[in-house]
């Protein structure tokens, strides 16, 4: 616990230095993994959420919401630089049982067919949360991603990259975005997955010192650890960043209090700006903005 506290303190100091250097205007950034859910919307109207994005010089947004129509409200308030993707969580309880409700697939297909949504996700495939990999409902979502040629944001916390490897190799014509780069996996395993599946990109959202605390990707100065730096440079065209503004992370979807993740948006984004600033200059813009645009900009 003391080591975690020291890391958070050191990173906060590094981020303060970064913020001071960017006092006039932070570098543009893409918010490649955001949520605007029912327990955020109730205290943060869409226009205020959009203003927070603009205040942080966010120039491109990928948003998944529960219920999914809230993503459209955010886009309506902001414009076409906000790209909604369809979440299968029509209600808070759907997070655990969406694949048992036929309405989810019906509404997902209708949403994609309407042209209002340009991706699927975030779909959680975790122990006790989500369907089996051969469940008909899960396979149908992959069919829809294939049919409408949209990216599929998938969240796995398996102990081995081979769990996702079996999915992405079997469905090599689906474009996956691996949320949090597997969350708990080291760079060696993430690299093995990227090597085995050219159809996968990773997002490094929520890999900051406040979340995924046991599997840090940065050192006490805010720079990427060597293994992560090598990985990001090698696959620089397949890495995106995002805030994933959900907080507190271990009490999400509480009924008695709102989610306050958007209050920490600046911290989450500056975390990425800090480590990106230490990378070779020729790949910084790709990781910070352009990759997210290329992956999520509608093709239809």
For the stretch 22-35, pLDDT in tens is 457 899 999 999 99
Domain containing residue 255: CATH number: 3.20.20.140
Higher pLDDT, 16 or 252: 252
* pTM of the entire predicted model: 0.91
Full domain range(s) for residue 64:
2-21+28-296
What is the 3-state secondary structure of the chain?
CHHHHHHHHHHHHHHHHHHHHCCCCCCCEEEEEEECCHHHHCCCCHHHHHHHHHHCCEEEEEEECCCCHHHHHHHHHHCCCEEEEECCCCCCCHHHHHHHCHHHHHHHHHHHHHCCCCCEEEEEEECCECCCCCCHHHHHHHHHHHHHCCCEEEEECCCCCHHHHHHHHHCCCCCEEEHHHHCCCCHHHHHHHHHHCCCEEEECCCCCCCCCCCCCCECCCCCECHHHHHHHHHCHHHEECCCCCCCCHHHCCCCCCCCCHHHHHHHHHHHHHHHHCCCCHHHHHHHHHHHHHHHHCCCC
Q: What is the pLDDT of residues 188-212, one digit of tens each?
A: 999 999 999 999 999 999 999 998 8
Q: What is the pLDDT of residues 89-144, one digit of tens each?
A: 999 889 889 999 999 999 999 999 999 999 999 999 987 788 999 999 999 999 99
Taking residues 45-56, report their average pLDDT: 98
Domain count, the chain: 1
């Amino acid at each position: 616990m003391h080591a975690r506290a020291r890391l958070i303190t050191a990173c906060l100091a590094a981020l303060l230095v970064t913020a001071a250097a960017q006092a006039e205007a932070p570098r543009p950034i893409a918010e490649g993994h955001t949520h605007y859910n029912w327990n955020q919307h109730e205290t943060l109207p869409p226009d205020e959420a959009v203003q927070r994005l603009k205040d942080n010089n966010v120039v491109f947004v990928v948003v998944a919401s529960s219920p999914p129509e809230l993503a459209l409200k955010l886009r309506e308030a902001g414009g076409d630089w906000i790209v909604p993707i369809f979440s299968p969580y029509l209600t808070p309880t759907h997070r655990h049982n969406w694949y048992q409700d036929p309405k989810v697939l019906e509404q997902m297909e209708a949403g994609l067919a309407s042209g209002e949504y340009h991706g699927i996700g975030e779909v959680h495939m975790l122990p006790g949360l989500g369907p089996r990999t051969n469940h008909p409902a899960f396979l149908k979502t992959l069919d829809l991603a294939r049919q409408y040629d949209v990216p599929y944001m998938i969240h796995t916390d398996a102990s081995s990259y081979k769990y996702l490897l079996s999915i992405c190799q079997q469905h090599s014509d689906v474009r996956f975005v691996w949320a949090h780069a597997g969350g708990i996996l080291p760079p060696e395993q993430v690299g093995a997955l990227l090597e085995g599946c050219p159809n996968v990109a990773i997002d490094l959202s929520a890999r900051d010192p406040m979340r995924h605390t046991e599997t840090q990707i940065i050192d006490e100065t805010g720079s990427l650890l060597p293994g992560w730096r090598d990985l990001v440079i090698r696959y620089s065209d397949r890495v995106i960043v995002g805030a994933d503004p959900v907080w507190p992370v271990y009490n999400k979807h509480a009924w008695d209090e709102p989610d306050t993740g958007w209050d920490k948006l600046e911290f989450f984004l500056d975390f990425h700006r800090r480590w990106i600033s230490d990378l070779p200059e020729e790949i910084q813009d790709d990781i910070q903005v352009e990759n997210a645009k290329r992956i999520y900009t509608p093709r239809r």
